[in-house]
Structure 1
Amino acid sequence: MKKLLIGVLVLAVLAGAAGGGVFMWAEKGTTTPKAAPGAPEVTFAVKKGTTARALGPELQSEGLIDDARLWRFHLWRRGGLALKAGRFKLSASMSIAELAKTLEGPPLPEDVPFVMIEGWRLRDTDEALAAKGLIKPGEYIAAAKRPERFKASFPLPTRSLEGYLYPETYAVVPEGFNVEAFIQRQLDTFGARFYDGHKGEISKGKRSLHDLVVMASMLEREEPKPEQRPLVAGILWKRIDKNFPLGVDATSRYELADWNDRKEFLKKLRDNTDEYNTRTRAGLPPSPIGAPTVDSLVAALRPTPSDYWYYLHDAEKKLHPSRNAEEHEALRVKYNVY
């Protein structure tokens, strides 16, 4: 009896809107999708405690159906809905009947955050993904060394995607995690955060995108304060232009298994054959040394000119630039930095 009364009320509402053709209108409305096949999917969230009837206005607001009254009619005709809370992939190219069937099915798996730290190398991200059980060790590195498998709004390097995989907190689904899809998201984020908004400026400048990424990766490690990075970038670019060794010790750590292994680091500093030793070799290192943020990328693109040629950081990581070797040496003594 209760269902019959609900049905009469629904039909009364429909009849008031559509006149004598109410049943034909309702039948067509519940079986004909709002949009043609191929309409984009949206993630539709059903909150805990929400009734099936209350979803009508929400589905209409999301552009998935034309009229919430059709949703109520369909619920009456099918005898209700075994609704589940959670997130569902829906599309306007689905009929109301298909929408209802999807909402009775299993919701999407819950996302979990994956935090990629600024400056991380491929190996660091690989280790973190493996530690969370998302990949087998080495899978991320192997995929990132095949740039030809990916697409981007910017020119990709040919050997490795080191430096182009933007560091951010990503929501990932552990079930069925796809490492290549994750890398594509990182490349898309690099484009959205930096390249797409600075494409014209980059094309007019004298530095290639790859050189900017290499420089930015060093700035990420060299200068902890983003506001100081343009000044450091100015010093380093000046050294590049004058064929003067950069002296960026972070480059000698790049190939270490443990970034903070001081013993192995000192060995690297003494190795004049190491192509990442920027104390003895002029020019940029062979590749980026980690994943830079937009602050470092913009600093590399827009360096601050100055009279400085050197810089160091004291024990509190405060930057101290100097104009010549004598001033630099005096600052070394003053702050006991060697």
Structure 2
Amino acid sequence: MWALKRLFQKPGLLFLFTFIGIALFVGWFYYLVNTATKLPFTPYELSITSGNNLKSISNRLTSDHLIPNAWSFILLSKVLGYESSIKAGEYVLVEDTSPRQLLEYLVKGDAKQNEIRFIEGWTFLQLRKVLDEHPAIRHDTLNLSEQEILQLIGASELKAEGLFFPDTYFFLTDSSDISILKRAYRTMQNHLKAAWSSRKESLPLESEYEGLILASIIEKETGKESDRGIIAGVLVNRLHLGMKLQVDPAVIYGIGHKFDGNLRKQDLLSDQEYNTYTRSGLPPSPIAMPGLASIQAAFNPAETDALYFVAKGNGESHFSTKLKDHNRAVHEYQKR
């Protein structure tokens, strides 16, 4: 304490120590941002969208061990005047790079982009067909089984159906289909976690995966956007009461390639694991890729007393609370 008092009494010494401290920090900072960091894997692919800010990008790079820490990358961006200059795009790194080189690469924005779109309601077979036919993609999964693909992307699920979020994905030419599937899988997991954390109380779901199954049914049953939440409410009401879901898309999914476009009474009576007319509860897996609206509806369904619904034929659904009313609606809209 006495030495500090003596130091502050001598402005020349205080200035000297301050100058030395600043010089040491500048030297250390210069070394930090200009020292190449080993890539976590090669090639390293980074997707930046227009909604990503400097902080989120820095945190992502830090979590992937591409930069030492987020604050130094943010400080470097501010010092160089690049705070708002990072451009959206799909970037690929094939060799070790320093934080400064990386920042200049992202600011230059010279990434060449291709895109592929996964549509809500698609099955995994449909998704895989589009992947396999895209000319700009490296087809590393072409001869792999579904289980081998799940292992490569780090998925713990036993079936690939419904695990990939439907969206438009941008990538560089010759990017691996594995990397695209990883991103789509990770995006779906993030949406499920967010929906699960804000789910409605007393929801009859044991896990995020069960919510995904329910969301996939909602996706296939919804013809009009305004009906989505009520359809979710009807299905949740049925689960609460232990009623069979009795949803045609699940039965059709279980029939598989044998389905000829005509769902017959015999199909509804023939028991199989996706027949929600003969079995109670949810089917064993999703039946398609649900979009965000269906995921949100599954975890936060609309309040309704309805237990039945039937398609009107114009995209809308008619909802009923009592079976006799539902039977009348079926006769009116489907049998006439």
Give the distance between the partners of 1:216 and 1:255, measured in 2 at CA: 17
Aligned to 1:142, which of 121, 142, 145?
Answer: 145
Unaligned runs of 5+ in 2: 1-26, 49-72, 82-89
- Match of residue 209 from structure 1: 208
> What is residue 195 of structure 2 aligned with on the other side?
198
CA 1:95/1:325 → structure 2, altered by over 3 Å: closer, same or farther? closer
Match for residue 320 of structure 1?
A: 318
Instruction: Provide the residue aligned with 1:74 in structure 2.
Output: none
How do 1:38-187 residues align onto structure 2 when only pairs under 5 Å count?
38=37, 63=76, 93=98, 110-133=112-135, 134=137, 139=142, 142-143=145-146, 146-151=149-154, 157-175=156-174, 177-187=175-185
Query: In 1, Cα distance between the equivalents of 2:278 and 2:47?
Result: 54
CA shift, 1:226, in A, is: 3.3
2:273 to 247, 263, 275: 275
Deviation string for 1:49-105 (max 9, x for gaps)? xxxxxxxxxxx999579669xxxxxxxxxxxxxxxxx98859971778x999x99xx
2:302 and 2:332 mapped to 1: Cα distance? 26
Consecutive unaligned residues in structure 1, runs of 5 or more: 1-27, 45-59, 69-85
Alpha-carbon distance in structure 2 between the residues aligned to 1:111 and 1:251: 37
Counterpart of 1:222 in structure 2 is 221
Q: Which residue of 2 aligns with 1:240?
A: 239
Report what 1:295 is aligned to: 293
Give 1:191 shift: 3.4
CA contact (8 A) 1:140 1:179 kept: no
TM-score by length of structure 1 reads 0.64
Structure with max Cα Rg: 1
- C-alpha separation in 1, matches of 2:273 and 2:218: 19
Structure 1 contact 34–66 (Cα < 8 Å) conserved:
no
| Aligned equivalents of 1:141, 1:337: Cα separation in 2 | 45
**How far off its partner does 1:243 sit?**
2.2
What secondary structure, in the 3-state scheme, does the structure 2 residue paired with 1:262 have? coil
Q: TM-score, normalised by structure 2?
A: 0.64
Rounded Cα–Cα distance in structure 1 between residues aligned with 2:231 and 2:293: 13
Deviations 1:291-332 (A, max 9, x none): 111111111111223221110111211110011221111112
Amino acid at match of 1:182: I
Q: In 1, distance between residues paired with 2:77 and 2:200?
A: 42
Alpha-carbon distance in 2 for matches of 1:115, 1:65: 35
Find the aligned partners of 1:301 and 1:259 in 2 and give their Cα distance.
32
Identity rate of aligned residues, in percent?
Answer: 21
Instruction: Indicate how the Cα distance of structure 1 residues 43 and 141 shifts in structure 2: closer, same or farther if over 3 A, else same.
Output: closer
- Aligned AA (2:324): E
Aligned residue for 2:264, secondary structure, equals helix
- Asked if the contact 1:144–1:160 (Cα under 8 Å) also holds between the matched residues in 2, the reply is yes
CA contact (8 A) 1:123 1:141 kept: no
**Which residue number corresponds to residue 82 of structure 1?**
none
SS of residue matched to 2:192: helix
> Would the alpha carbon gap of residues 87 and 180 (structure 1) be closer, same or farther in structure 2, given more than 3 Å must change?
closer
Against the structure 1 CA distance between its residues 94 and 245, is the aligned structure 2 distance closer, same or farther, given a 3 Å change threshold?
closer
Aligned 8 A contact 2:139 2:177 in 1: no
Q: Is the contact between residue 311 and residue 328 of structure 1 (CA under 8 Å) also seen in structure 2?
A: yes
Opposite residue 127 of structure 1, the aligned amino acid is K
Kindly indicate whether the alpha-carbon contact (under 8 Å) linking 1:253 and 1:259 is maintained by their aligned counterparts in 2: no
Map of 2:62 onto structure 1: none
CA contact (8 A) 1:129 1:135 kept: no
Contact 1:34-1:65 within 8 A present in 2 as well: no
Name the SS of the counterpart of 1:292 in structure 2.
coil
How far is the alpha carbon of 1:144 from its aligned partner? 5.8
1:306 equivalenced with 2:304 (yes/no): yes
For 1:145 and 1:305, the matched residues in 2 are separated by: 41
Deviation at 1:219, TM superposition (A): 0.3
CA shift in 2, pair 1:171/1:256, >3 Å:
farther
Residues 196, 211 of structure 1: CA spacing in aligned structure 2 closer, same or farther, 3 A cutoff? closer
Structure 1 segments (4+ residues) deviating >4 Å: 39-44, 60-68, 86-92, 135-138, 143-146, 202-206, 255-260
Change (3 A) 1:126 1:140: farther
Listed one character per residue, the Cα deviations across residues 199-250 of structure 1 (whole Å, up to 9, x for unaligned) are 4335965521111100000000001233322211121122222222111000
Distance in structure 2 (CA, Å) of the matches to 1:43 and 1:160:
26
2:35 corresponds to: 36
One-letter code aligned to 1:181 = S
